[in-house]
Amino acid sequence: MQQTKQRLLTGNKALAEAIRLEMERDPNVFVMGEDVGVYGGIFGATEGLFQKFGPERVIDTPISETAFIGAAIGAAAEGMRPIVELMFVDFFGVCMDQIYNHMAKIPYMSGGRVKLPMVLMTAVGGGYSDAAQHSQTLYATFAHLPGMKVVAPSTPYDLKGMMISAIRDDNPVVFMFHKTLQGLGWMDQLDASIGHVPEEAYTVPLGKANIVREGTDITIVGIQMTVHQALEAAKRLEQQGIQAEVIDLRSLVPLDKETIIQSVKKTHRLLVVDEDYLSYGMTAEIAAIAAEHCLYDLEAPVKRIAVPDVPIPYSRPLEQFVLPNADKIFREAIQLVNE
């Protein structure tokens, strides 16, 4: 058997490498955002790019999100391929008009004649006491609005492959990376934030879920942190004789319904876990898909774990109470299997 050489990269380095490769390949690609230059992005997504490409292609902007995200739209309409960083997804509030009324709708309103090949990349997630305005994921807020692809990879391998796909895509892509999965030295150290990443450019398709663990007794669907929590829970479930299948959605739009449906048909039980708010969110969408396509395959009602419709609180015991974790998944899964 041929041995594959393992080259381990953190999430942030995988992302930066994807952008570097595409910038080398295509002069139309450039990066814009706050602190993306010398600093390398607050969460390291543009590490080393300024040093390599200089201030013409890696542009620090003023704190003017409406203007620079709007400018990315304008430049994309001209055929450039901008990557703009919204430092934290929570800041979408100051620039959402550009995002959902323009970036997401211009291609449609123009009857497909105007293309916006841009990437809006942004950091999501909490768990480190950054409180209500810096800890959200807002997956569903973006996924709800038609006209933009919304992806959220969970491993360094996918971060690189999906970023390359996003840059090459002719549609606007909202690319969410999870802070804790960037593998930064100053946050919680998670094994999952470091992984094998090939040196060359490769693509991972946008819109294809990944079965990261096969099982027969229950399907657990998650994205980003909740995938890793589900995997941890699955290990403990195995000790109880329960085989959990874990699906990493990777992409919310397009959503890979087929993988979910096939899995539920096999396991007959579904638990959906989300670091976003509970109501009107991803968990409800997946539950609806199950109800529409495989209701009679279910042997128990669908269960959901998500943030219980409160803003993310600051204090550690409060925040830990509202966020999903492996314990909660383990407990719910046991209950569900015994139902």
Partner 1 sequence: MAISKDHLLWMYETMYKIRCYEDKMAEAYAEGKSPVFNIGAGPVPGEMHLATGQEPAAAGMCVHLKKEDTVTAPHRPHHHAIAKGVDLNRMTAEIFGKATGLGKGKGGHMHLFDPDVKFSCGGIVGAGIPHALGAALAAKKRGTDWVAVAFIGEGAANQGAFHESLNMAALWKLPLIVVIENNQYGISVPKTASTAVPSNDVRAAAYGIKGYYVKDNDPIDMYNVSKEAVERARTGQGPSIIEIETYRYLGHFQGDPEVYRDKNEVTLLRQKDPIIRLRNYLLNECGVTEETIAQLENKATFEVDQAYAFARESDYPKPEEALEDVFV
Ligand X SMILES: Cc1ncc(C[n+]2csc(CCOP(=O)(O)OP(=O)(O)O)c2C)c(N)n1
Question: 150 with 143: CB under 8 angstroms?
Answer: yes
Q: What is the footprint of partner 1 within residues 254-283 (CB under 8 A)?
A: none
The 23-52 contact track toward ligand X, x by CB under 6 A, reads -----------x------------------
CB of 147 to partner 1, least distance (A): 23
295 lines the binding site for ligand X (CB under 6 A):
no
Is-catalytic flag, 178? no
Among 11, 37, 195, 281, binds partner 1 (CB under 8 A): 37
61 lines the binding site for partner 1 (CB under 8 A):
yes
Among 63, 114, 291, 295, binds ligand X (CB under 6 A): 63
60 lines the binding site for ligand X (CB under 6 A):
no
CB of 26 to ligand X, least distance (A): 28
Partner whose footprint covers residue 173, from partner 1, ligand X, none (CB < 5 to 8 Å by kind): none
CB of 174 to partner 1, least distance (A): 19
Q: Please state whether the peptide bond connecting residue 205 to the residue before it is cis, i.e. omega within 30 degrees of 0.
A: no
Alpha helices in the chain (DSSP H): 11-25, 49-53, 65-77, 96, 106-109, 139-143, 156-168, 225-239, 257-267, 282-294, 316-322, 326-338
β 149-151/173-178 pair status: parallel
The 166-205 contact track toward partner 1, x by CB under 8 A, reads -------------------xxxxx----------------
Which long-range contacts (C-beta less than 8 Å, at least 24 apart) are formed by 50-59? 52/20, 52/23, 53/23, 56/30, 57/23, 57/29, 57/30, 57/31, 58/30, 58/31, 59/30, 59/31, 59/32, 59/33
CB of 186 to partner 1, least distance (A): 5
64 lines the binding site for partner 1 (CB under 8 A):
yes
Residue 94 CA to its chain's centroid (Å): 21
Binding part of the chain for ligand X, among 86-94, 168-176, 190-198, 266-274 by CB under 6 A, reads: 86-94
Distances (CA, A) of 108 to 55, 172, 255: 33, 12, 19
CA pair distance 298, 249, nearest whole angstrom: 20
Question: 142 with 174: CB under 8 angstroms?
Answer: yes
91 lines the binding site for partner 1 (CB under 8 A):
yes
Q: 287 in helix, strand or coil?
A: helix
94 lines the binding site for partner 1 (CB under 8 A):
yes
Q: Which of 134, 178, 228, 268 does the annotation list as catalytic?
A: 134
Closest CA to 163 of 200, 191, 205, 199: 205
Binding site for ligand X (CB under 6 A): 34, 63, 65, 87, 91, 94
Q: Which sequence positions are flagged as catalytic?
A: 134
Binding site for partner 1 (CB under 8 A): 34-35, 37-39, 42, 60-64, 66-67, 90-91, 93-94, 127-134, 185-189, 308-311, 313-322
